[in-house]
A and B are shown apart, each in its own frame.
Chain A
Amino acid sequence: MKKLSARRRHPLAAVVVLLLALAATGGLYAAFAPAGKAQADETSQSLTIKEGRKLYEVGCASCHGTGGQGSSDGPSLVGVGSAAVDFQVGTGRMPAATSQGAQVPRKKPVYTQTQIDQLAAYIASLGAGPIVPTKQQYGPAGADIAKGGELFRTNCAQCHNFTGKGGALTKGKFAPTLEGVDPKHIYEAMQTGPQNMPSFPDTTLSSKNKKDIIAYLHAVDSSETTNPGGLELGGLGPVSEGLFAWIFGLGALIAVAVWVAARTAKAKKS
């Protein structure tokens, strides 16, 4: 110990101690910290949340409150989960205009997907909620289309129509068309129940059920749907069919009748 004590005032002593301390900290950290990947995630996650918070404060806080606690202009976002954020912002419904009609309509999204992810991470950090589904959950692989159709008719058709063309609700509200909606967003809508829609958590409609419904909608209400009978006429049923029959059916026949009646035998005219 004498030797050590004798050299404690050596000019390099501080450096040595510093090195030792660093090595100890580093070694301890290396020993106790979780996997290196997770460590990287943790930092980027906190960074994402930070970025999300910034975006939130600029774009959302005026209605939803500075900490997501909500205000008279917007509901609390604590516990809505990243799925709700991804749906609302991803479909352009949020941010909503200051004066809305009966319902916030779908429009062109304002944020990029990266920004939406950042916002979602921030909101998710406020309280646990449904998370954004993975491609595996909403993708077409392994889905049962016929089962999806049955589930759709049982749970969704009373507002969204047989093939998801949408329908009216009370006082100007409406169930929007599902044509051209991203499968991920359909999944999230079922999961979170935006606006007037009831939510269908996994306890009500399992993840597999949701996948089936999405696959059914893709089969009957997408750009790849084939209509074996010809023009779909909006897929709205007898109202548009009746209109078509009157205008193009009877209209054409009356035009033909006028044409036939105008061509009479010439005996009288000449």
Chain B
Amino acid sequence: MSTAANETARSRGQAPAGERIADWADGRLGIYSLAKANMRKIFPDHWSFMLGEVCMYSFIIIILTGVYLTLFFHPSMNEVVYHGSYVPLQGQMMSEAFNSTLHISFDVRGGLLVRQIHHWAALIFLAGMFVHMMRVFFTGAFRKPREINWLFGFLLFVLGMFTGFTGYSLPDDLLSGTGVRFMEGAILSVPIVGTYLSYFLFGGQFPGHDFVARFYSIHILLLPGIMLGLMVAHLILVFYHKHTQFAGPGKSNNNVVGMPLLPVYMAKAGGFFFLVFGVIAAIAAVAQINPIWAIGPYRVDQVSTGAQPDWYMGFAEGLIRFMPGWEINFWGHTLVLGVFIPLVLFPLVLAAIAVYPFIESWVTGDKREHHILDRPRNAPTRTAFGVAWVTIYMITLVGGGNDLWATHFHLSINAVTWFVRIFFFVGPVIAFLVTKRICLGLQRRDRDKVLHGRETGIIKRLPHGEFIEVHEPLSQEQLHTLTAHDQYQPAEIGPTVDENGVERKVKAAERLRVKLSNAYYGEDNQIPKPSVEEYREITSGHGHH
């Protein structure tokens, strides 16, 4: 349209088409005020803030590919004879679920690729959530006002594990069948009600004819539905709280420094979605995952070595594998501690990290809002606790793959198992102590840098023969960044006798809190950051150092 024509259109009182559509929609949806409030929302830039996006996008990819798979999958355990195109299984009896998964893999156009994208995206989704959770943990982003969002995220991780597990079990192949059998064994180990629970879940004796259909509705409807709701709530809260940021010049607890959602983050995040999709699709196109045709259909009388769950359930497998096979028999009943204790430990290990933010806020007694992130070194006890937790998790994962460690590193599986047993207890303690020392060391280094500047590596000889290294003072920005963090004072019990000489009773909880507070912030548990006076004193010109 030429400019002249444009002007004639305007003079007739006709707005451009886009404006008219926007106006029409605004009159009915009120999007204008919504957009005004949110389009200029600021997000800070840091690669680790995009880990959550990785999770969200892989979740969307899983949903999209999952919908495609439901078009061809038959969640039925009716037995059929295979007549498809994979020769080494022709004529074998198998469930319809397995048969239809083979059909998807070999006879549906794009079926195998979509299956592999679905499965790889699931592994990456869970790994992404794990790393995202650790990022939030180690930077202290879970502090007020984000505790609820931390729990939402944690729930998403746990639900993701179970959604993954139920999905992994659907093809009814020998590997996943072994996993379901494992789960049945764990349920059976529950005292008194175990048998009933198992019968309830499987609709009778394992494996029965129901579990694939039941897992199917759990996998495609129940759990993802809850997860989708939680994810939306998670995002709404991120919008509501605004994003956290690392300390730096111009950044305070009351502002967010970054780029607006529209247009910068719309373009970046939108592009990032396609990058994530691209990476996952490329991996799915290159690497095979869960080759059920090589694994074979499930039969209760068959089992293979190297039968492990997907990685996110690996620590449950590990707990069972390294637990000694203890049993207690009384009055004709057996309490299978070798399975029941791991079943109890499983939620406890997970819960340990989930409740940590509440323990920390109780110890600090801090009721303020925090929008500036901590550097992990500036919260040594928290960082050490997190590393200890990750150590337990990783040691248990090693236990879950003990046979592969044994075969691939030419070790004895017994030795690997004993290593895991010992380091399940010793490992986190060592990790805690070492991490705390490293954090304090780094704090000292920061203090040195602030007070004495950066070592330049230039050696100068003074006229009287002394050698000194030239230190370069830090810039104002660097000084600010290194000293922006808050430091808590350890709590004290306070006077136990009031002015009238009446003794106050000190509760055990308070005593514990003071003890913990000293372990967190007492002498030797944090390095006091340099004060302005110290800085002035040292830079006032009494010689260079």
Q: Do A and B come from one complex?
A: yes
Contact residues of A with B, CB < 8 Å?
101-102, 144-150, 153-154, 157-163, 165-172, 174-175, 216, 219-220, 227-233, 235-246, 248-250, 252-254, 256-258, 260-262, 264-265
B301 CB → nearest A CB, Å: 7
State whether the Cβ of B174 lies closer than 8 Å to any Cβ in chain A.
yes
Give the one of A231, A238, A264 with max B CB within 10 A: A238
The winner among A232, A249, A257 for most chain B CB atoms within 10 A is A249
Question: Which chain B residues border A175 with CB–CB below 8 Å?
Answer: 305
Indicate the member of A102, A219, A245 with the most B CB atoms within 10 Å. Answer: A245
Residue in A closest to B106 when the chains form the complex, CB atoms: A228
In the bound complex, CA of A175 to CA of B413 (Å): 13
Q: How far is the CB of A166 from chain B (nearest CB, A)?
A: 6
Offer 19 A-B interface pairs, CB within 8 angstroms, sorted by A: A157-B174, A161-B304, A170-B412, A171-B412, A172-B412, A172-B414, A219-B87, A229-B116, A230-B286, A238-B310, A241-B289, A241-B290, A245-B123, A245-B283, A253-B124, A256-B275, A260-B272, A261-B46, A261-B49
Q: How many residues of B contact A (CB 8 A)?
A: 74
| A102 smallest CB distance to B (angstroms) | 7
Cβ of A253: which chain B residues have Cβ within 8 Å of it? 54, 124, 128, 275-276, 279
Does chain A have a CB within 8 A of B112?
yes
A175 vs B407: C-alpha distance when bound (angstroms): 9
Q: What is the CA–CA distance of A265 and B174 in the complex, to the nearest angstrom?
A: 52
State which of B287, B311, B415 has its C-beta within 8 Å of the C-beta of A233.
B287
Q: How far apart are the CA atoms of A249 and B305 in the complex, in Å?
A: 26
Q: Is the interface of B mostly helix, strand, loop or mixed?
A: helix
Q: Is the CB of A249 within 8 A of B127?
A: yes
User: Given that A160-B305, A249-B280 are contacting pairs, would A257 and B123 also be in contact in the complex, using a CB cutoff of 8 Å?
Assistant: no
Q: Which residue of B lies closest to A249 (CB)?
A: B124
Those 4 A-B pairs whose CB atoms lie nearest each other, nearest first: A242-B311, A229-B288, A167-B305, A245-B123
CB-based nearest B residue for A166: B407
A146 near B92 (CB under 8 angstroms)? Answer: yes
Check A260–B308 contact: CB distance below 8 A. no
- Tell me, in angstroms, the Cα distance from A146 to B50 when the chains sit together: 48
Considering only residues 290-346 of chain B, those with a C-beta below 8 Å from chain A are 290-291, 293-296, 299, 301-311, 314
* B39 beta carbon closer than 8 Å to chain A: no
> Which one, A236, A248, A261, A264, contacts B404 given CB within 8 A?
A236
> Which residues of chain B are within 8 angstroms of A101 by Cβ–Cβ distance?
410
Chain A residues with Cβ below 8 Å from B280 are: 249
B272 with A245: CB separation less than 8 A: no
Chain B residues with Cβ below 8 Å from A236 are 306, 404
Rounded to whole angstroms, the CA-CA distance of A132 and B133 in the bound complex is: 60
Within B378-393, the residues touching A (CB, 8 Å) are none
How far is A220 from B87 in the complex, measured between Cα atoms in Å? 11
In the complex, per-residue mask of B121-144: 1 if CB is within 8 Å of any chain A CB, else 0: 001100110010000000000000
Interface of A is mostly: helix
Shortest Cβ distance from residue B224 to the other chain A in the assembled complex, whole angstroms: 20
Q: Which residues of A contact B355 (CB under 8 A)?
A: none
Which residues on the A side are within 8 Å of B16 (C-beta)?
none
Chain B residues, CB < 8 A from A232: 288, 291
Write out the residue numbers on chain A whose beta carbons fall within 8 Å of the beta carbon of B296: 149-150, 153, 162
Are A249 and B259 CB-contacts (below 8 A) given A233-B288, A241-B290?
no
Contact residues in A for B305 (Cβ distance below 8 Å): 157-161, 167-168, 175
Known A102-B412, A149-B92, A168-B406: A230·B124 in contact at CB below 8 Å: no
Q: Are A145 and B45 in contact (CB under 8 A)?
A: no
Chain A positions within 8 Å of B45 at CB level: 261, 264
Alpha-carbon separation in the docked complex, A25 to B483 (Å): 115
Q: When the two chains form their complex, are residues B120 and A249 in contact, meaning their CB atoms are under 8 A apart?
A: yes
The answer, yes or no, to whether B353 is at the interface (CB within 8 Å) is: no
B306 near A161 (CB under 8 angstroms)? Answer: yes
- Closest CB in chain B relative to A258 CB, distance in Å: 4
Which residue from chain A places its CB closest to the CB of B126 in the assembled complex? A245
Let me know if B407 and A242 touch, CB within 8 A.
no
> Who on chain A is nearest to B307 by CB?
A237
B168 CB to nearest A CB, Å: 8
- B500 CB to closest chain A CB (Å) equals 61
Given A162-B296, A264-B259, decide whether A239 and B272 contact each other with a Cβ distance below 8 A. no
- Bound together, the chains give a CA A159 to CA B307 distance in angstroms of 11
Give which listed residue, B50, B88, B105, contacts A149 with CB less than 8 A. B88
